[in-house]
Amino acid sequence: MVDERKLRQILLQVEKPARYLGGEFNLPDTDKPCDERVCLCFADKYEVGMSNIGLRILYHMLNDTDGVVCERSFAPSVDMAEKMRENDIKLFSLETRREFTDFDIVGFSIGFELAYTTVLYMMDLAGVPFYAKDRGEDYPLIIAGGPCMVNPAPILDFFDAIMVGEGEVNLAAFVELHRQSKKQGLSKKEFLEKASKLEGVYVPSVGGTVKRAVVKDLDKAYYPTKILVPSCDIVHDRSTLELFRGCANGCRFCQACFYYRPIREKKKDTLLRQAKELIINTGYEELSLSSLSTSDYSQLKELVEGLKEQAQKDNVKLALPSLRLDSFEAEIYEDTKGASLTFAPEAGTQRLRDVINKNVSDANILSSLTAALEHGVKNVKLYFMIGLPTETEEDLKGIVDIVKLVKKLHQEHGRSRIINITVSTAVFIPKPLTPFQWEAQITTDEMYAKQEYLKRELRLKNVKYSWHDAKSSVIEAALARGDRRQSAVIERAYNTGCVFDAWNECFDYDKWMSAFEYCGIDVREYTGAIDTQKELAWDFIDNGVTKAYLLKERERAYEGKTTPNCIGKCNGCGANKLGRCFS
């Protein structure tokens, strides 16, 4: 365990020391008798990790299991890491200040490809070897889970096991199996061989294929309502209600949409009960709803009415995410004093929206914006993507046209005196498990040219334009569709100083490019188009949605044909075989 006095002395010299101490309200009993100790890690800072709903669920789920204690560890800031190294303090858990080697299992939640070097940074600070093959019986099992496991190929060599799918199923089973194996005195190798047979568990040293694990009945699934309430400010500092998993819309660029299928809802009464418990147990001033497309929740109106009543009674602000506005939702905005509308048309023209299957028509945009402006919305945030397959100059011009339309509609219908329009563009990144997984990403020169065009054309009064960094999008794309050869690149990038790549101020493109070059790998191999006949690095994972369906969707994209939302009628994507949609 860490020398507490030494730790407290260094905490006086770093920024935001509260990040490193835990001690939050609703802390589970980590001193209870246990025979299995797990440390859940998040490869980013405390403020980001503590906002993650998945980590929150798994942390409380494991702590609510008899005989299991789960602790947390986050990536310390660079200033803290420096002090830790100076004082010979290894990375520790927040709850009991234990080092990695004091745990049976250390699990990383990885939600973003640019967090890969931060995983190595944490392993380095913990004093454990990066590669699973170099960690003998003295080291804990180091495993990974989270959305990046849709293609874990670039990081497979770093981990003993990969949790593919939902942790409520595979992590719980993995921890339980390890408890039993410990009692039987099994070696790490023997245990991993057994674990490789569990649903949603992939063991790189064993190989084979794996089927994604999903919660069959989300309504009855574990969901904590007595959650940790951080004492310092975090990114999403509020209670969150998870409405459903999966998305019926099928936008062809969106990984989350396909990855989280099958679509499973919670019942309205379950959500109202959970909301009530969350409000009482946390004291949070705000309650937000979480899902990929909240407006598709089948009982949204009844749910929001129930929540509004509860929220008013307890002086809690109800935060609603971006909705597709029709008149009913506009009323909600007015009631909740929502003066801001977030709208994501993603593409500037109807043609391109059809290609990407964003089933929002020009008429929808017009009516939604009119309704919002008539209800007094004064901040409009618009999200678009550039570099989408088949994009032309006309499509970019379409983005500018939509912004001008908002200004015009505000003049004609706006109830507020002023309007602030924020336009953000992200760069299209072809991601695994999407119909666009075979597409090429545009070059950085093209990205810059498109961003320059928009910067020039959107120099309008009350319009603010922001854009996502082009270079980090290239690395993200390369890692997203990466293969096993990339573990050497990630290691090299980390060793040359790359860490916290998701933070713009820390990202260093040149170091990444040098790392690729050093390993003799051409980035364009990963960012260019992929032959649809070629075997993909993530083909060993059965994520439910079939390759045939994705290919069919890709063809429809090129034909400019849309595929309707699957709420009314199943489109046969294949996710149903993992668990029934809308069960």
Partner 1 sequence: MIVFRHRKTGETSFLSHIDTMRVLQRTMRRMRAEVKYSAGFVPHMLTYSTTPLPLGVQSLAEYFVADSPLDDEKELLERFNDNIPAGLKADFCAVVPQNPNLAAKVVASLYEVEAEENVSEDVKEILGLDSYVMKQFKKGQMLDVEVRNKIFAIETEGKKLRLTLATGNENLRVDSFVESLSRYGVKACANDVTRLEQFVLKDGRFVAAKEALL
Q: Which residues of the shown chain bind partner 1 in the complex (CB under 8 A)?
A: 8-9, 11-12, 17-18, 21-25, 27, 229, 231-233, 280-285, 314-315
Distance CA 164, CA 148 (A): 9
Return the residue matching tokens 């004492």.
231
Distance CA 479, CA 489 (A): 10
Shortest separation between residue 230's beta carbon and partner 1, angstroms = 9
Neighbours of 334 (CB within 10 A): 16
Select 25 or 558, whichever has its Cβ closest to partner 1: 25
- DSSP conformational letter for 224: -
Select 91 or 195, whichever has its Cβ closest to partner 1: 91
Select 21 or 426, whichever has its Cβ closest to partner 1: 21
DSSP 24-51: -BT---TTS--SEEEEEEESS-HHHHTT
Shortest separation between residue 383's beta carbon and partner 1, angstroms = 27
Closest by Cα among 65, 72, 77, 58 to 24: 72
CB-based contact 581:262 (threshold 8 Å): yes
Shortest separation between residue 450's beta carbon and partner 1, angstroms = 39
Distance CA 407, CA 414 (A): 9
Distance CA 522, CA 340 (A): 44
Distance CA 353, CA 226 (A): 42
Which H or E run contains 126?
helix 116-126
Residue length of the chain: 583
Distance CA 583, CA 313 (A): 33
184 CA to centre of own chain? 37
Select 10 or 355, whichever has its Cβ closest to partner 1: 10
Select 313 or 580, whichever has its Cβ closest to partner 1: 313
Shortest separation between residue 369's beta carbon and partner 1, angstroms = 26
Closest by Cα among 258, 159, 154 to 526: 154
Select 280 or 366, whichever has its Cβ closest to partner 1: 280
CB-based contact 557:437 (threshold 8 Å): no
Select 283 or 572, whichever has its Cβ closest to partner 1: 283
What are the residues facing 453 on neighbouring strands?
none
The phi, psi pair for 260, rounded to 5°, reads -85, 5
Strands 141-145 and 105-109: parallel
Shortest separation between residue 7's beta carbon and partner 1, angstroms = 10
Closest by Cα among 255, 149, 265, 257 to 211: 149
What value does the CA radius of gyration of the chain take, rounded to a whole number of Å?
A: 24
532 CA to centre of own chain? 27
